[in-house]
Amino acid sequence: MPPSAPHDPIAIALAEDIGPGDLTSQYFVGDGNRSARIIAKEPAIAAGVETAEEVFARVDPQLVVKIERPSGSVVGVGETVIEITGASRSILTAERVALNFLQRLSGVATLTRRYVEAAKPHRAQILDTRKTTPGLRALEKAAVVAGGGVNHRFGLYDMVMVKDNHLAAEHGLAGLAGAITRFRAENPEVRVEVEADRLDQVRDFLTLSGIDVILLDNMSCADMAEAVRLGAGRVQFEASGGVTLDTVAQIAATGVDFISVGALTHSARAIDFSLDLDA
């Protein structure tokens, strides 16, 4: 998590949807109380359930919200995820924002679970990336965890990731070695990862001290397996680049420790949920 949240995504979402007021509920919904349920319309891994709960609380603290399936739960078609009781107007005012969070984040969790299951029985962990929706990174990364994945670095400040452009700016291997030494002197506990797209780069990086992870970018499975053999017991390896559900099992079989998948957050399909007022 970042050291301080730069903004409040729930407040922003409510402000953009409700604005100065919900005209429909104000003029066309009575003053009475009702109960409602949010129901899954397809199988999924629930995520963002607690965020949806908070949406209802922000709209009307008097609403009684009961979570039936917390984030990380497997939900089937027709199963109730949340029950809400209270003013009908408040329930309907909060409905869309609550569903937007729930549908988006459950989509991330559900896709993550598919990758996690596809990588079994190998030991590789499925990682997310920084390819997140602006402003929703904390929520989307929590959804990855709900789906069984593992969070990579949250931002630029909590881990070093030296990519090809960084290497070019730092003038190659000698510059990298010096930069790692300087960094380690001031940040001994922070992980350092470097990117390689060829085996000769992997061999070069293995001659340096202070590297925790080597990222194998768009390498063939044969080359990744060889890289793992070369660095066994010395560093960890992360595979990245164009990973799909069709290829993740082959990549996991190379023996890499991690597989990062940008699609978890940039390409997840929203899950269908609906809110139904009880008769």
* CATH assignment at residue 13: 3.90.1170.20
Look at residue 1 and tell me if it is in a domain: no
Shared domain for 16 and 34, answered yes or no, is yes
Shared domain for 164 and 235, answered yes or no, is yes
Neighbours of 21 (CB within 10 A): 9
pLDDT of residue 63 exceeding 70, the answer is yes
pLDDT of residue 2 exceeding 60, the answer is no
pLDDT of residue 204: 95
C-alpha 197/C-alpha 217 separation (Å) is 5
Six token digits for residue 234: 């010395």
pLDDT of residue 31 exceeding 60, the answer is yes
| Residues 75, 142, 130: CA angle, nearest 5 degrees | 125
Shared domain for 127 and 225, answered yes or no, is yes
pLDDT of residue 173 exceeding 90, the answer is no
Residue 213 has φ and ψ, to the nearest 5°, of -135, 140
Question: CA-CA distances (angstroms) from residue 256 to 96, 112, 120, 230, 251?
Answer: 41, 18, 13, 12, 8
Shared domain for 104 and 121, answered yes or no, is no
Shared domain for 237 and 156, answered yes or no, is yes
Shared domain for 94 and 169, answered yes or no, is no
Shared domain for 172 and 42, answered yes or no, is no
Shared domain for 36 and 167, answered yes or no, is no
C-alpha 100/C-alpha 83 separation (Å) is 17
Interacting residues of 24 by C-beta distance below 8 A, sequence separation 6+: 92
Shared domain for 123 and 238, answered yes or no, is yes
Question: CA-CA distances (angstroms) from residue 242 to 138, 247, 260?
Answer: 24, 9, 9
Average pLDDT score over the chain: 95
Q: Are 162 and 195 in contact (CB under 8 A)?
A: yes
Question: CA-CA distances (angstroms) from residue 115 to 9, 68, 124, 157, 264?
Answer: 27, 26, 11, 27, 9
Look at residue 176 and tell me if it is in a domain: yes
pLDDT of residue 154: 95
Structural domain range at position 57: 9-110+268-277
pLDDT of residue 4 exceeding 80, the answer is no
Q: Would you place residue 1 in the very low, low, confident or very high pLDDT band (cuts 50, 70, 90)?
A: very low
Q: Which pTM does this prediction carry?
A: 0.94
Q: What CATH number is given to the structural domain containing 199?
A: 3.20.20.70
Shared domain for 210 and 100, answered yes or no, is no
pLDDT of residue 156: 95
Q: Would you place residue 7 in the very low, low, confident or very high pLDDT band (cuts 50, 70, 90)?
A: confident
pLDDT of residue 168: 62
Active site residues: 96, 131, 163, 195, 217
Look at residue 152 and tell me if it is in a domain: yes
Look at residue 38 and tell me if it is in a domain: yes
Q: Would you place residue 6 in the very low, low, confident or very high pLDDT band (cuts 50, 70, 90)?
A: low
Residue whose pair of structure tokens reads 């919200």 in the numeric block: 65
Ramachandran bin of 233, using left for φ above 0, alpha for ψ from -120 to 50, beta for the remaining angles: left
Tell me what the mean pLDDT of segment 245-258 comes to. Answer: 98
Look at residue 4 and tell me if it is in a domain: no
**Domains in the chain, number:** 2
Shared domain for 61 and 15, answered yes or no, is yes
Instruction: Give the tens place of pLDDT for each residue, 199-236.
Output: 999 999 999 999 999 999 999 999 999 999 999 999 99
Instruction: Give the tens place of pLDDT for each residue, 85-109.
Output: 999 999 999 999 999 999 999 999 9
Q: Would you place residue 167 in the very low, low, confident or very high pLDDT band (cuts 50, 70, 90)?
A: confident
pLDDT of residue 3: 52
Shared domain for 222 and 192, answered yes or no, is yes
Look at residue 231 and tell me if it is in a domain: yes
Closest CA to 248 of 110, 122, 140: 122
pLDDT of residue 76: 98
Q: Are 116 and 273 in contact (CB under 8 A)?
A: no
